Amino acid sequence: MINKSQVEQNNLKILDSSQVLQNDKDQIIAKLKELLPNVINSDNQLNTQALQDVLDIANTTSNNQGYELTFAGKGIAKAKADEPTIKELKAELEQSKDFDNTENVVIRGDNIDTLKILRANYTNKIKMIYIDPPYNTKSENFVYNDNFKKNEEELIKEFGLAEETQNFLTNVYGTRSHSGWLSFMYPRLKIARELLKEDGVIFISIDDNEQANLKIICDEIFGEENFVACLPTIMNLKGNHDNYGFAETHEYIFVYVIDKNICEINKFDVDESELEKWQEDDYGLWKEADTLKRTGQDASRINRPKGYFPVFIDKNEKIYVTENDLPENRNDTIIYPVNDNGDELSWSWGKRKIMQENYNLILKKTSNGFSIYKKQRPGIGDLPTKKAKSFLYKTEYSSTTATNYLKKEFGKKIFDNPKPLPLLKDLIILGLNSNDVILDFFAGSGTTGDAVMQLNAEDGGKRKYILAQLDEPIDEKKEAYKFCTDKNFEPVISSITIERLNRAGEKIKADIQAEFDAENSKKKPNQEKLAELQEKLENISKLDIGYKVFSLKDKPCIAEVTNDGGQVSFVPKNLREKTLDTLANMLCATCKPLHTKIETLITDKLYKAGNEIYLLGSVDKSQLEIFKDLKINVDGYSDLDLEDFLNLGVTDKDNVSVVY
């Protein structure tokens, strides 16, 4: 193991994925010092008065007159998000599928640690997050244990949270404690926001128990201005008649984006029956949309005087306007924006747009003369699309459909309350583009991964998923427990997640093959359909149905050991056993996605990923010289002699980082 003090003495850069947040803070402080040197003092403390003077702000506030949700443990929850993790990744080859080639990832373990690990190499890289967190119902107890450990006492002191800690511990562990649930969710959502791209979006399933509180903390974390929708989602049309007063039929899905000015929510493709509503002219597909007359409270001539002018129709039913409001021909028809009651309204288009885009208008004869409507057109080169409604309902969104689907997949009821596959597919269509990454850190039965593979099979997309699931023990009385033990799986929820992904991928391939075989076996097969299915089979052969599985383990560290004679020594602890583990964690520390392709140059010693070299052991100078212009990352936990390596002189020190 390379001593960090030796690294510092040689002025080499140290990379540590667990310290990525501190590194970011240091960069921010350095930037502030560069831009506003009088705002940060020599102790790196912020001079708020100086900042106030520079920005010419009359007053600063600690939200004395603002609006926020306070709860027991909020300070601790914020500190929890900033606290470095002591965990790292451990590759689980036996549980993985096509480890070397797949771009999908499954991480077993507490998602707070998983999120902190991903913070190093996925900050601003995730396009979409979907989560279905615990709902905090009467029948639900938290499996996640966010108690502060002994080695976190310093954190409590650092943030001045001793008094709040006591309040937190005495208040959050009652039945259905709102404070406990919020303290649990806050740090996870805070880190989740950091992972999203600038055009990223998050979808959160929730029910009435915590939806009001969730809305407030999401407004705080993502910004109230970035709230998109609260979507009631019908999960049980018959309703749950055990509820008081009303038979509950729905849950909610909150939608937030990082920046409304950048993020675009996708639209659904119109199905074949919808296409019948569309016509085609010289400019492409169109269908009748709204009337050209403005409607609503602001539609009157008084409110919009510039929108009140005559529109003319010539004998060939051409629509036009003139600057002087006089017709080109004496017999042309004149239309004003007036409703059936004679109220003077306004046009929704101005004169210039009517003249330039009269081909996007439709003239319809009525009993009173003519009415003018607008044409709705699809995006150029696309099928007509439709915006998702703020109320989600399809029969296939039902909880029963989801349960039956999984039951058919496993031959028995294997999971309580799985999310419906069609619902996840639709959400992914709305939030994810065909080559992006989706993260689900409450993966459950793995519906999100299943949905990603199905959509890729349907349209040839290259979507990738990262799923995180706690190794939650399965009750011995459950069918899932027997299933796991019969299959020699560990009886934990993550085993179900992984097996669901395995079966789902194989099923996708088998279903297409079966459909092709059925058509091909007919006496007179439909050749057009056969060709279509053959193309699908070729696409399916390239489909990524694999997944890299990682579990969490304690990071290597230096432990203080005292022998019987009272002598103190320092020894490495929790050292990595496999090269694959080392490479995975070095990828994290060097900000590379976990699906990055790694080239083996010298087994267990020298590897290449992108334009960077990963050195895990001693090699000859000749073996390194060819990479002298590349960045070299040295494994800090290796037995490599740092001085010997530097004496090789193969590259400048600026190109060398030591990774812990």
pLDDT band at 397 (very low <50, low <70, confident <90, very high): very high
Q: Is 0.75 surpassed by the pTM of this model?
A: yes
615 versus 158: the higher-pLDDT residue is: 615
pLDDT tens digits for range 379-396:
654 566 788 999 999 999
pLDDT(593) > 70: yes
500 versus 368: the higher-pLDDT residue is: 500
Rounded distance between C-alpha atoms, residue 17 and residue 588, angstroms: 6
Per-residue pLDDT, averaged over 131-154, amounts to 61
Across the beta sheet with 279-281, the strand order is: 279-281, 284-291, 369-376, 361-366
430 in helix, strand or coil?
helix
Residue 607: name the closest of 619, 616, 596 by CA: 616
pLDDT tens digits for range 450-501:
999 999 999 889 999 999 999 999 999 999 999 999 999 999 999 999 999 9
Tokens linked to 545: 């149905």
pLDDT tens digits for range 214-254:
999 999 999 999 999 999 999 988 888 888 889 889 999 99
pLDDT > 90 in the chain, percent? 66
Instruction: Name, in order, each residue with C-beta under 8 angstroms of 627's C-beta and a sequence gap of 6 or more.
Output: 608, 613, 650, 651
Average pLDDT, the chain: 88
Give φ, ψ of 246 to 5 degrees. -135, 145
User: What pLDDT does residue 172 have?
Assistant: 47
Rounded distance between C-alpha atoms, residue 510 and residue 519, angstroms: 14
Tokens linked to 625: 């010289």
pLDDT(299) > 80: yes
Whole-Å CA distances, 337 to 255, 308, 356, 582:
38, 7, 19, 72
pLDDT(157) > 60: no
Rounded distance between C-alpha atoms, residue 199 and residue 128, angstroms: 9
25 versus 367: the higher-pLDDT residue is: 367
pLDDT tens digits for range 338-365:
998 899 999 999 999 999 999 999 999 9
Tokens linked to 103: 């771009």
23 in helix, strand or coil?
helix
Q: Select 74-267+387-549's CATH number: 3.40.50.10490, 3.40.50.150, 3.20.170.30, 3.40.50.300.
A: 3.40.50.150
Residue 355: name the closest of 380, 330, 328 by CA: 328
pLDDT band at 166 (very low <50, low <70, confident <90, very high): very low
User: Where in the sequence of the chain do the CATH 3.40.50.150 domains occur?
Assistant: 74-267+387-549
Rg of the chain taking only CA atoms, in angstroms: 31
Contacts 24+ apart (CB under 8 A), 555-558: 555/18, 555/85, 555/86, 555/87, 555/88, 556/1, 556/88, 556/637, 556/660, 557/86, 558/1
Rounded distance between C-alpha atoms, residue 479 and residue 488, angstroms: 14
Q: CA torsion sign, 626 to 628 to 631 to 636? A: positive
